[in-house]
Amino acid sequence: MLMIGCDFHPGLEELALLDTETGQRRQQRLSHAFGLEPVRQFYAGLPRPARVGL
């Protein structure tokens, strides 16, 4: 399962991702500068199951 912690700001989202099966961790930043379509595409492309906490 992919677990994601999201720190939401007006112009961007800071994400911390953890794959519970492999233990792999990574960080990512999603900017809202180009509209919300890239953000929607990111969340739509997540493997299932995924759990997101704000």
End-to-end CA distance of the chain: 17
Give the angle 35-31-53 at the CA atoms, nearest 5°. Answer: 105
40 vs 54: CA distance, rounded Å: 16
What pLDDT is stored for residue 48 in this prediction? 87
For residue 6, is pLDDT > 90? yes
The sign one gets for the Cα dihedral 42, 30, 12, 50 is: positive
Q: Which domain holds residue 37?
A: 2-53
Question: Are the CB atoms for 29 and 43 separated by under 8 Å?
Answer: no
Count of domains observed in the chain: 1
What pLDDT is stored for residue 17 in this prediction? 96
pLDDT digits (tens, 9 = 90+) for 7-49: 999 999 999 999 999 999 999 999 999 899 999 999 999 988 8
Structure confidence at residue 4 as a pLDDT band (50, 70, 90): very high
